[in-house]
Amino acid sequence: MAEKKIPYKIYLNEDEIPKQWYNVRADMQNKPAPLLNPGTLEPMSFDDLRPVFCDELIKQELDDQTAYIDIPEEIQNFYKMYRPAPLVRAYCLEEKLRTPAKIYYKFEGNNTSGSHKLNSAIAQAYYAKKQGLKGVTTETGAGQWGTALSMACSYFDLDCKVYMVKVSYEQKPFRREVMRTYGASVTPSPSDTTNVGRKILEKYPGTTGSLGCAISEAVEVATSHEGYRYVLGSVLNQVLLHQSVIGLETKTALDKYGIEPDIIIGCAGGGSNLGGLISPFMGEKLRGEKNYDIVAVEPASCPSFTRGKFAYDFCDTGMVCPLAKMYTLGSGFIPSANHAGGLRFHGMSSTLSQLYHDGYMRAVSVEQTAVFEAAEQFARIEGILPAPESSHAIRVAIDEALKCKETGEEKTIVFGLTGTGYFDLVAYQKYNDGVMSDYIPTDEELQKSFDELPKVDK
């Protein structure tokens, strides 16, 4: 059969948007370890989690058996406003690199929030509304998750309280205004509106905050206000489940042209886009049907997979959240302030952590100047201004394509382009001015935060 000419963009039809999410845990022999109650160290039950999370989302969180879960029609309809997302053949980049490799990227930046996070935000807002709640609380770091959730909450007419890491609140006033335009209230964290915030401020006066600290505040507000629950934009199993739309669409598009990827690459902060992108491919790998080289890319300044410990840890600084077993740098780890590229969370999805631990995927870490070099190269030839987070995946996709140039291999590379970088221009400015530096934590620094890991014998 003659090879079909592959277009620059492989679009799907509206009826090819997934109608079910795929739950990769169903195909895992070693299931991700359960969340533990930090007091009793017993697995968190449905009832334990109810004060914090929405009922239906808890069911999804705890379900490691059901492979396919129906996407409610209301969510499908919302997806239709900005999906399917294109799978792009990076012909221009290939030519520029003079590589025999074939490069594809799945572009998730085609919505106002500018990232994949809307895929889960809309699902979480839907279940909160369906449960009759008044609103939800959350944290946001760089602001993409807060923006996505604000959009989702305004669509379903829910109140949305966002705790935004103080340094971002101050450096990214435009993000804040987008969220407020969609009706969210935005509070810089740590703040004096919560007990945990006041405690942190007392202990570290002048601190510019961290994700872990903002999570603690958002959880406190949710559990102390009638009709509110807390929602999280990454790390959790339910978020990976919702993000499986990325991978399912990618697979459908590749299958249309009979394309089989050799390498699948994604950036990894808490693991949600990567988990979503790889899920159907990982399913095939777990069932022994196919073999893919699956690569997580993380910043050298926050290297949870490549230098972290696989252990139970807190997801937040205030130590109010359940314990998750994951690759972690310790909940006290705060990446250097010089680190401009996002992906700052100290831990990693427990699903991906288990898969990595069992050898189903590998991880590499990259330094931020090399990431911005790749971002610049990509922007100049493919046109899209990538988010710094996404550019970690671009870096490694380019590196793999250059390896193919040396060996002459015609590998097919697929990577996740998770979003756009319009709100990251302070970081781009640093890079353009030549004042961006690389920071790699020392073993001693990491050891200090490992020493604080909770002692759990599981």
Ligand X SMILES: *Cc1c(COP(=O)(O)O)cnc(C)c1O
Contacting residues toward ligand X, per CB under 6 A: 115, 117, 144, 234, 267-274, 342-343, 387, 389-390, 418-419
Cβ–Cβ < 8 Å for 6, 259: yes
Q: Which is nearer to ligand X, 194 or 237 (CB)?
A: 237
We find the least distance from the C-beta atom of residue 232 to ligand X, in angstroms, to be 10
We find the least distance from the C-beta atom of residue 298 to ligand X, in angstroms, to be 9
Q: Which is nearer to ligand X, 322 or 342 (CB)?
A: 342
We find the least distance from the C-beta atom of residue 389 to ligand X, in angstroms, to be 3
Give me 316's structure tokens. Answer: 């937040």
Q: Which is nearer to ligand X, 247 or 271 (CB)?
A: 271
Q: Which is nearer to ligand X, 17 or 240 (CB)?
A: 240
We find the least distance from the C-beta atom of residue 49 to ligand X, in angstroms, to be 20
We find the least distance from the C-beta atom of residue 120 to ligand X, in angstroms, to be 9
The interaxial angle of helices 55-62 and 237-256, nearest 10 deg, is 70
Q: Which is nearer to ligand X, 23 or 418 (CB)?
A: 418
We find the least distance from the C-beta atom of residue 168 to ligand X, in angstroms, to be 12
Give the list of residues 6+ apart from residue 230 with CB closer than 8 angstroms, or none.
52, 53, 136, 137, 138, 218, 219, 221, 222, 223
Q: Which is nearer to ligand X, 39 or 383 (CB)?
A: 383
Of 235, 232, 237, the residue nearest 61 (C-alpha)? 237
Q: Which is nearer to ligand X, 17 or 268 (CB)?
A: 268
Q: Which is nearer to ligand X, 113 or 191 (CB)?
A: 113
CA atoms of 432 and 429, how far apart (whole Å)? 5
Give me 39's structure tokens. Answer: 């007091």
DSSP state of 386: B
We find the least distance from the C-beta atom of residue 256 to ligand X, in angstroms, to be 25
* Number of other CB atoms surrounding residue 360 within 10 Å: 17
Give me 177's structure tokens. Answer: 């205004």
Q: Which is nearer to ligand X, 217 or 389 (CB)?
A: 389
Q: Which is nearer to ligand X, 115 or 216 (CB)?
A: 115
Q: Which is nearer to ligand X, 94 or 313 (CB)?
A: 313
We find the least distance from the C-beta atom of residue 375 to ligand X, in angstroms, to be 12
Q: Which residues pair with 188 in a beta bridge?
A: 164
Secondary structure string (H, E, C) spanning 19-56 = CEEECHHHHCCCCCCCCECCCCCCECCHHHHCCCCCHH
Cβ–Cβ < 8 Å for 88, 253: no
User: Residue with the closest Cβ to ligand X?
Assistant: 419
We find the least distance from the C-beta atom of residue 390 to ligand X, in angstroms, to be 5
Give the list of residues 6+ apart from residue 1 with CB closer than 8 angstroms, or none.
none
We find the least distance from the C-beta atom of residue 238 to ligand X, in angstroms, to be 12
Backbone angles phi, psi at 275, to 5 degrees: -60, -40
Give the list of residues 6+ apart from residue 425 with CB closer than 8 angstroms, or none.
none
We find the least distance from the C-beta atom of residue 231 to ligand X, in angstroms, to be 14
Tokens 């671009």 sit on residue: 394
Amino acid at 70: D
CA atoms of 201 and 206, how far apart (whole Å)? 7
Of 255, 250, 241, the residue nearest 71 (C-alpha)? 241
DSSP assignment string, 88-124: EE-HHHHHHHT-SSEEEEEE---STT-BTTHHHHHHH
Q: Which is nearer to ligand X, 250 or 272 (CB)?
A: 272
We find the least distance from the C-beta atom of residue 296 to ligand X, in angstroms, to be 9
CA atoms of 112 and 106, how far apart (whole Å)? 17
DSSP state of 188: E
Pairing of strands 87-89, 102-107: antiparallel
Of 306, 298, 389, the residue nearest 341 (C-alpha)? 389
